Amino acid sequence: MADILLTTLNARYMHTAFGLRYLFANLGSLQSRAQIEEFTIHQRPGDIAERLLQINPTIISFSVYIWNVEEVSQTVALIKQISPDTLIVLGGPEVSHHPDHPDVVNLADYVIEGAGEISLRKLCEQLLSGRRPSEKIITGEIVALDQLDLPYAYYSDEDIRNRMIYVEASRGCPFKCEFCLSALDKTSKPFELGKFLDEIDKLYQRGARNFKFIDRTFNLKVSTSVAIMEFFLQRMTDDLYLHFEVVPDNLPDKLKDTIKKFPKHSLQFEIGIQTFDPVIQDLISRKQDNKKSCDNLLWLREETEAYIHADLIFGLPGDTLVNFARSFDQLVALKPHEIQLGILKRLRGAPINRHTGIYQLRYNPKAPYNILSTRDIDFYTMQAVNRFARYWDMIGNSGRFKNTLPIILGQSAFNNFFQLSNSIYQREGSTWKISLKRLFVLLHDILTTEIGLTREEVSASLEKDYLSSGEKGNFDSLINQQKKEIKTGIANKRQAKQI
């Protein structure tokens, strides 16, 4: 039983709701009357509503994000039908930009826009004492970081064993990239380093080995970055894994020397390139030294054991298929381990929304609000690149086609993979439910009959990948059997038409 429930729907079970733990940590004397309940977007709204109402709370506070707004909306609607007197409080990025609110706000009793650690506690104190504020929309109260109680003690032992542990050494971002909500921040502010590392050490002593830093610019202040990395180097174990988001054009020698000390499988860098086009960069207020970024990416790949995850965005204002292809080819040449191809999404409150009219940015009205077309990219091209991104995850990012991918990409990476992507879709009519065996057969057939590669080269590379994938059976037999089935299927279709 609890008077206050802090809840949200995570994208996956392995994720933890970092924000809920901050809210709980700062409830003060109300902590004993509160608890955290986490779900995933794959659970049924009815089951979530049942679990929450069984606890018989007075207040349920939902954290709302772009990835869970639809499921939260359904859950809140059910709760209000079943128990209309239960007070619903919403917070999170998806409801923090009045008047650009999702429909779920209409069902809620109160909405906290922005920082919630202090404001939620004050609101709950009022509600539990019978004093209901007259205003539904509450502006979150921002306080200095040293006035916040840190949340790390509220990771459970199960979290530490099985889930991602999110941490932050700083909050905010000094850059103004308009597609990102961090563009609204005035600057980046650090937590007191000694206190932060003390908390991280406690997590480490409890067995935490998987740390994901959510700092938007981890390498902004290099001395702090080095101190944190040295802290982990002193505690290095075979299962320690660290994830940092870094700006690509700021790797001075002192930081490079520290990065080189990390062994394989211990360090991942998420590096947002987004676009190499300087005109688009200027348009969206993105400051990035492209030459330094390229040099640093190449250095990381060749001189360190860090795993490099790089991001590109398609659909930015002024972007075209040709521009995107150039950025993709340039990034492929730098050989990051993984390239995430993101499609621009409309984030409520993001400054990029000022370009909507001029560049005819048309977004999906339903979450995740992905771009559907622009002045320079029609809907059909956008759909084709969405499929490209999905097939790239299956082939380029999966690590299953290390021998075959280089011969697919050749000297014109984007054009070659775009042709492959279109061919797969023409044959399958879907980007989902393609088995790994089926994918091997499709690649063999398309690469030899449409892309123009030799059967010997394709068979040799695919067979190596097939054997290392763990799939059972003879590769040549698989190809021959599948081709027979394809021919039989085509013959059956022809016969059916004749009848």
Contact criterion met (CB below 8 Å) for 213 and 188: no
pLDDT digits (tens, 9 = 90+) for 113-169: 999 999 999 999 999 999 999 999 999 999 999 999 999 999 999 999 999 999 999
Is residue 205 predicted with pLDDT exceeding 90? yes
Q: If DSSP codes are grouped into helix, strand and coil, which group holds residue 37? A: strand
CB burial of 229-241 (b: ≥16 within 10 Å; e: otherwise) equals: beebeeeeeeebb
What's the confidence (pLDDT) of residue 476?
Answer: 86
Confidence of residue 493 (pLDDT cuts 50, 70, 90): low
Give residues with Cβ within 8 angstroms of 285, minimum separation 6.
176, 177, 178, 183, 351
β-strand partners of 72: none
What's the confidence (pLDDT) of residue 490?
Answer: 54
Cα atoms in the Cβ-side hemisphere of radius 13 Å centred on 37: 23
- C-alpha 487: how far from chain center: 41
Between 62 and 485, whose confidence is greater? 62
Q: Name the strand (E) or helix (H) holding 165.
A: strand 165-167
pLDDT digits (tens, 9 = 90+) for 331-373: 999 999 999 999 999 999 999 999 999 999 999 999 999 999 9
What's the confidence (pLDDT) of residue 494?
Answer: 57
Which residue has tokens 């002193």? 234
Contact criterion met (CB below 8 Å) for 311 and 270: yes
Between 477 and 79, whose confidence is greater? 79
Q: What are the domain boundaries of the chain?
A: 4-144, 155-377, 399-499
Taking alpha carbons only, the member of 87, 89, 85, 45 closest to residue 64 is 89
CA separation (Å) from 86 to 65, 80, 104? 22, 7, 15
Taking alpha carbons only, the member of 404, 414, 488 closest to residue 439 is 404
The CATH architecture annotation of domain 155-377 reads Alpha-Beta Horseshoe (3.80)
What's the confidence (pLDDT) of residue 179?
Answer: 93
* Size of the chain, expressed as the number of residues it contains: 499
Burial class (CB in 10 A: 0-12, 13-18, 19+), 117: buried
Taking alpha carbons only, the member of 348, 346, 368, 349 closest to residue 359 is 346
Taking alpha carbons only, the member of 262, 159, 267 closest to residue 213 is 267
Distance CA 241, CA 43 (A): 29
What's the confidence (pLDDT) of residue 308?
Answer: 98
In CATH, the number for domain 4-144 is 3.40.50.2300
CA separation (Å) from 15 to 34, 95, 180, 390, 414? 21, 21, 21, 22, 33
Q: What is the mean pLDDT of residues 85-96?
A: 97
What's the confidence (pLDDT) of residue 31?
Answer: 97
